[in-house]
């Protein structure tokens, strides 16, 4: 399964998730508000898109309305309070993915 993780900058949450679940899924990560924001090509690649906050899902709907309707987009509901590879972030990510395992 191809999973695309998205957060605001692609520095902490989505980057950590991409690295953490690389052995379980084909993973990529992207940001919405960085120098190289997520593109239609990356969204098209993914079977599942995982955003960290609801606002990110809404932003994807605005930027990519056609693809948005075709994709399964799951909100992990993880606030932007963690640094890259933060042990607490790793634990939260593992728990959230476990909660969604029936959808993956």
Number of other CB atoms surrounding residue 74 within 10 Å: 18
Read off the pTM. Answer: 0.96
pLDDT tier at 97 (50, 70, 90 boundaries)?
very high
CATH number assigned to the domain comprising residue 25: 3.40.50.2300
Q: How far apart are CA 51 and CA 59, in angstroms?
A: 10
Instruction: Give tens-digit pLDDT for 5-35.
Output: 999 999 999 999 999 999 999 999 999 999 9
Measured torsion, CA atoms of residues 64, 67, 71, 76, in degrees rounded to the nearest 10: -10
Give me the number of domains the chain comprises.
1
Res 73 pLDDT > 90 = yes
Instruction: Domain of residue 29: give its range.
Output: 2-103
Note whether 96 and 52 are within 8 A (CB). no
CA dihedral sign, ordered 28, 34, 36, 41: positive
């Amino acid at each position: 399964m191809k999973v695309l993780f998205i957060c605001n900058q692609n520095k902490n949450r989505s980057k950590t998730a991409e690295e953490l679940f690389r052995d379980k899924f084909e993973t990529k990560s992207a940001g919405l508000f960085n120098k190289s924001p997520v593109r239609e090509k990356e969204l098209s690649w993914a079977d599942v898109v995982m955003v960290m906050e609801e606002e990110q899902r809404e932003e994807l709907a605005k930027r990519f309305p056609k693809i948005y309707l075709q994709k399964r987009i799951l909100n992990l509901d993880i606030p932007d309070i963690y640094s890259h590879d933060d042990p607490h972030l790793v634990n939260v990510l593992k728990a959230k993915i476990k909660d969604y395992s029936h959808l993956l």
